[in-house]
């Protein structure tokens, strides 16, 4: 997970050797019109996240409805979907 997230970050980072372009942009220029990588979805690796638990009943208005987790990467093929390790359940 960590290697895949690091590879994604490296591929969208600007490099001086490529004329201040990212490898993603250089590849896109060869195949398509000028594309810029979308960095609005990036989050710090291992940051604290909260995942909505929809299986919790709606009885108590002030009961917690989220599970605490840590960001461990991005879903394969879609970097707008995060992979989160849920601490309480010990699973992704």
Q: Where are the domains of the chain?
A: 1-39, 42-92
pLDDT tens sequence for the chain (92 residues):
778 777 777 777 777 777 777 777 777 766 665 566 666 777 878 889 999 888 877 777 787 888 999 998 887 767 678 889 998 888 88
Other C-beta atoms within 10 Å of 74: how many? Answer: 20
> What are the phi and psi torsion angles at 33 (to 5°)?
-70, 170
Query: Which positions ≥6 away from 16 have C-beta within 8 Å?
Result: none
* This prediction's pTM: 0.61
So what's the pLDDT on residue 50?
93
So what's the pLDDT on residue 61?
78
> What are the phi and psi torsion angles at 24 (to 5°)?
-60, -45
């Amino acid at each position: 997970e960590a290697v895949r997230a690091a590879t994604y970050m490296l591929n969208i980072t600007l490099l001086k050797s490529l004329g201040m372009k990212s490898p993603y942009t250089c590849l896109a220029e060869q195949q398509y019109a000028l594309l810029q990588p979308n960095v609005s979805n990036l989050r710090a690796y291992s940051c604290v996240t909260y995942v909505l638990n929809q299986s919790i009943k709606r009885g108590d208005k002030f009961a917690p409805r989220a599970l605490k987790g840590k960001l461990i990467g991005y879903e394969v093929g879609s970097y707008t979907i995060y992979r989160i390790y849920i601490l309480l359940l010990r699973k992704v």
